[in-house]
Structure 1
Amino acid sequence: MSDRIIAACDGAAKGNPGPAGWAWVIADAAGRPERWEAGPLGRATNNVGELTALHRLLEAVAPGTSVEVRMDSQYAMKAVTQWLPNWKRNGWRTAAGKPVANQELVRGIDALLADRDVEFRYVPAHRVDGDPLNAIADQAASDAAVTQQAAGTAHGAALIPVPAPERSAPAPRPRSGTGARKRPAGAASATGAGDPGTGRRSGPRTIKAKFRGTCPCGRSYAAGESIAKLGTRWGHPGCEAAVAG
C-alpha cells in the first residue's frame, strides 16, 4: 500500500443542465499541486459533472493507492459513502423504488472504490480560507465547462489553473438611525464608478487580479489586470452585460 496522497475533484455546469465540465488535481507528498486534468461534458447537470470528476480521479490513481479525496459536492459524497450500499441492496433503486439517477457513473465509481483505499473529506466551496486544491479543481472544471476543451498536464499544460480570488462576505450596512452617514448627492459610490448627480453605481466594482484566470466569456485575464465579480466568477468588467444575458 502506498503512502496516502491528497487529491481534489469538482464538476461545473453553466446552467443546470448547461455546458458542463469536470476536473481533478493531485498533490505531491508535500501537498503541492502536481498534476491535473479537466474535460468537457457537453450539456449536463452539476451532479453529472461532480460524479464524472470523481470517476476520472479514481481512474487516474493506481489500484491499491491510498488517497484522500476532497470535494465540495455533498450529493456526490453522500451518493458514494451513504446511499450506495442501500442502492445496491435494492437492485439499484432508491427507497422510493425509482431507478438510481446517474447509475452508470455510480456503478463505475463503486467498482473503482473496491481496490482503492479512499477517504472522503468535504470542503466548503468558494471560501477565502477554503481548500486550495479544491479551488484549483473548481476553476479547472469551470474553465472546461466554458471552453468545452480538455486540458491538463497530460495535454501539455505546464501551469496549474489559478483560481480567481474569492472575497469575504461584505460587512452589514448600519441601519437608519444608528450612525450611518448619508452619501452627499453627486458623490461616487465606493463600490463602483458613480453616476454624476445620482451617486448610483454604473458598473461593477473592480479589483486587480492577483493571478491569471479565465473570464466567463472564455478569454483569459492576466495578473494585475482589472477584473470584476460576474455572478459567481471573476472576469472582464465589460463582460457583465454578456454574463447577465
Structure 2
Amino acid sequence: MTDLSSFPITQRWPASHPDRIQLYATPTPNGVKVSIMLEETGLAYEPHFINISNNESKDPAFVALNPNGRIPAIIDPAGPDGKPLALWESGAILLYLAEKTGQFLPVDPARRYETLAWVFFQMSAIGPMFGQLGFFLRFGGKDIEDKRPRQRFVDETKRLLGVLDRQLEGRDWIVDDYSIADIATIGWVNALGAFYAAEAILGLDDYANVQAWLERALARPAVQRGLHIPAKPA
C-alpha cells in the first residue's frame, strides 16, 4: 500500500485510498477547476473537503502542503518517477494532470501555447477580477458606502467578458477543442450568475457567445459532477 504518512496533511485528513490522487479543496470557482479536471480525465482520486469558512486552509497541516494556505492542492501518489508529488496552485495542477494523462492540452506546439495563454488569462485576470466583484456583491464589500471600488470591478468584469466573448465567436470552446482553458474558466463564469447573482449588473445576456459556451460546458456530465466536489460532510 502507498505510504503518504510523510505528508502532515494526511494526519489531519486521512487517506482512505492512499493509492489514489488526494484532492484537498472546496467547491469554489478555484476548487472546481481540479475536481472537474479529475472527473473529465477519469483518474482515480479521493476528495477531502477543506472548510475555508473555518480557516481550515490555514491549518498547519494544510500549509505544510501549500505554503500559501489556499485551496486546491493535491498529492499524487504516482507522481514523476513513481514517487508521490504534492502540488498546489490550480493552474499548475491542471497543467500537470493534462500532461500526466495526455488529455485536454493540444500536442501541436502553437495550439498548446495558445491554450496556456488562455489558462493564464483566467489565472491573472478572470479569477482575481471576478472574485473581487463577488466580494462587493455578496460579502463585506456590500457594506462599503463608496461605490467606486465596486464599479471598478463591474467595469473590469464586463471588459473581460467581452474579451472572452470575442474569442468564442465562431468557436464551441475557447481554443477550438475543449481544453484546460475551458476547465479553468467554467467555474468562474458560472459563479457570476449562480452564486454572485450578477446577471443584471453585468448584463450577462449581452455576451451571447459566453452564455452559449457556458451552456455547452454545463451540459458535460463531468462538469455537473465536478461543480459539487468535494461535498461538505453531513
- Normalised TM-score (structure 1): 0.24
Larger helix proportion, structure 1 or 2? 2
Larger strand proportion, structure 1 or 2? 1
Asked which structure has the greater RCO (Cα within 8 Å, sep 6+), the reply is 2
- Normalised TM-score (structure 2): 0.25
Pick the structure with greater CA Rg: 1
